[in-house]
Amino acid sequence: MVIVLGWVLVLLLLALWSGLVWSGQALLAAMLAHAGTLGVGDWSLPAALTAWLPVPVAEWLAALLENLTPQLQALAGTLPWLSGGVSVLAWVVWSVGALLLLGVGLAMHVAVALWRKSRNSTLPSGVTALR
Protein backbone atom coordinates (compact mmCIF):
# COMPACT_ATOMS: atom_id res chain seq x y z
CA MET A 1 0.00 0.00 0.00
CA VAL A 2 2.88 2.36 0.77
CA ILE A 3 4.38 1.75 -2.66
CA VAL A 4 1.07 2.57 -4.36
CA LEU A 5 0.71 5.77 -2.34
CA GLY A 6 4.26 6.74 -3.25
CA TRP A 7 3.61 6.28 -6.97
CA VAL A 8 0.30 8.17 -6.73
CA LEU A 9 2.19 11.06 -5.12
CA VAL A 10 4.82 10.94 -7.87
CA LEU A 11 2.14 10.94 -10.58
CA LEU A 12 0.34 13.87 -8.96
CA LEU A 13 3.62 15.79 -8.80
CA LEU A 14 4.28 14.90 -12.43
CA ALA A 15 0.85 16.26 -13.41
CA LEU A 16 1.56 19.46 -11.47
CA TRP A 17 5.00 19.75 -13.11
CA SER A 18 3.49 19.23 -16.56
CA GLY A 19 0.89 21.93 -15.99
CA LEU A 20 3.49 24.34 -14.66
CA VAL A 21 5.85 23.83 -17.61
CA TRP A 22 2.99 24.02 -20.13
CA SER A 23 1.70 27.27 -18.59
CA GLY A 24 5.18 28.78 -18.50
CA GLN A 25 5.79 27.81 -22.12
CA ALA A 26 2.51 29.34 -23.25
CA LEU A 27 3.15 32.56 -21.32
CA LEU A 28 6.73 32.91 -22.53
CA ALA A 29 5.82 32.16 -26.14
CA ALA A 30 3.02 34.75 -26.04
CA MET A 31 5.32 37.36 -24.51
CA LEU A 32 8.04 36.73 -27.08
CA ALA A 33 5.63 36.67 -30.01
CA HIS A 34 4.34 40.16 -29.18
CA ALA A 35 7.66 41.65 -28.12
CA GLY A 36 8.48 42.94 -31.61
CA THR A 37 5.45 45.24 -31.60
CA LEU A 38 7.00 47.63 -29.07
CA GLY A 39 7.67 51.06 -30.51
CA VAL A 40 10.51 53.41 -29.72
CA GLY A 41 8.36 55.42 -27.30
CA ASP A 42 7.37 52.29 -25.33
CA TRP A 43 10.77 52.01 -23.67
CA SER A 44 10.27 53.99 -20.47
CA LEU A 45 10.14 53.29 -16.76
CA PRO A 46 6.67 52.63 -15.36
CA ALA A 47 5.31 55.38 -13.11
CA ALA A 48 4.71 52.89 -10.30
CA LEU A 49 8.41 51.98 -10.31
CA THR A 50 9.66 55.57 -10.36
CA ALA A 51 7.39 56.42 -7.41
CA TRP A 52 9.19 53.89 -5.22
CA LEU A 53 12.73 54.65 -6.35
CA PRO A 54 14.86 57.49 -5.04
CA VAL A 55 14.96 60.39 -7.50
CA PRO A 56 18.66 59.99 -8.48
CA VAL A 57 18.20 56.27 -9.12
CA ALA A 58 15.06 56.85 -11.19
CA GLU A 59 16.82 59.54 -13.25
CA TRP A 60 19.84 57.27 -13.78
CA LEU A 61 17.62 54.37 -14.91
CA ALA A 62 15.64 56.64 -17.24
CA ALA A 63 18.86 57.94 -18.83
CA LEU A 64 20.25 54.42 -19.15
CA LEU A 65 17.03 53.22 -20.77
CA GLU A 66 17.08 56.16 -23.16
CA ASN A 67 20.67 55.37 -24.17
CA LEU A 68 19.92 51.67 -24.65
CA THR A 69 16.69 52.17 -26.64
CA PRO A 70 18.26 51.33 -30.07
CA GLN A 71 19.81 48.13 -28.72
CA LEU A 72 16.61 47.15 -26.92
CA GLN A 73 14.59 47.82 -30.08
CA ALA A 74 16.92 45.59 -32.11
CA LEU A 75 16.65 42.87 -29.47
CA ALA A 76 12.86 43.16 -29.43
CA GLY A 77 12.84 42.69 -33.20
CA THR A 78 14.54 39.31 -32.84
CA LEU A 79 12.36 38.05 -29.98
CA PRO A 80 9.43 36.83 -32.12
CA TRP A 81 11.91 34.68 -34.04
CA LEU A 82 13.12 33.20 -30.74
CA SER A 83 9.59 32.23 -29.65
CA GLY A 84 9.82 29.03 -31.71
CA GLY A 85 12.66 27.81 -29.50
CA VAL A 86 10.50 28.08 -26.40
CA SER A 87 8.76 24.80 -27.26
CA VAL A 88 12.06 22.96 -27.49
CA LEU A 89 13.22 24.51 -24.24
CA ALA A 90 9.96 23.57 -22.53
CA TRP A 91 10.30 19.94 -23.65
CA VAL A 92 13.87 19.78 -22.37
CA VAL A 93 12.93 21.31 -19.00
CA TRP A 94 9.89 19.04 -18.70
CA SER A 95 11.96 15.94 -19.55
CA VAL A 96 14.59 16.71 -16.93
CA GLY A 97 11.93 17.33 -14.28
CA ALA A 98 9.96 14.22 -15.25
CA LEU A 99 13.06 12.04 -15.13
CA LEU A 100 13.92 13.42 -11.69
CA LEU A 101 10.41 12.72 -10.42
CA LEU A 102 10.44 9.20 -11.84
CA GLY A 103 13.84 8.65 -10.25
CA VAL A 104 12.46 9.76 -6.89
CA GLY A 105 9.54 7.37 -7.35
CA LEU A 106 11.85 4.50 -8.21
CA ALA A 107 14.13 5.26 -5.24
CA MET A 108 11.11 5.36 -2.94
CA HIS A 109 9.87 2.05 -4.37
CA VAL A 110 13.23 0.37 -3.82
CA ALA A 111 13.58 1.83 -0.32
CA VAL A 112 10.18 0.54 0.76
CA ALA A 113 10.88 -2.88 -0.76
CA LEU A 114 14.26 -3.12 1.02
CA TRP A 115 12.72 -1.97 4.29
CA ARG A 116 10.03 -4.63 4.01
CA LYS A 117 12.61 -7.28 3.20
CA SER A 118 14.79 -6.36 6.17
CA ARG A 119 11.75 -6.24 8.43
CA ASN A 120 10.65 -9.70 7.31
CA SER A 121 14.14 -11.16 7.75
CA THR A 122 14.38 -9.97 11.37
CA LEU A 123 11.10 -11.61 12.42
CA PRO A 124 11.33 -14.98 14.14
CA SER A 125 10.50 -18.00 12.01
CA GLY A 126 6.82 -18.81 11.82
CA VAL A 127 5.74 -15.18 12.22
CA THR A 128 4.59 -13.38 9.09
CA ALA A 129 4.50 -9.62 8.74
CA LEU A 130 1.36 -7.80 7.74
CA ARG A 131 1.43 -6.67 4.14
User: Are the CB atoms for 94 and 17 separated by under 8 Å?
Assistant: yes
- DSSP symbol at 124: P
**H helical segments located in the chain:** 2-33, 47-52, 55-82, 85-121
Summarize pLDDT for 70-129 with one digit per residue, the tens.
777 777 777 777 777 888 999 999 999 999 999 999 999 999 999 888 887 776 665 565
Looking at residue 25, its amino acid is Q
The residues spanned by each domain of the chain are: 46-82, 84-113
The model carries a pTM of 0.59
User: Are the CB atoms for 25 and 87 separated by under 8 Å?
Assistant: yes
Three-state SS at 83: coil
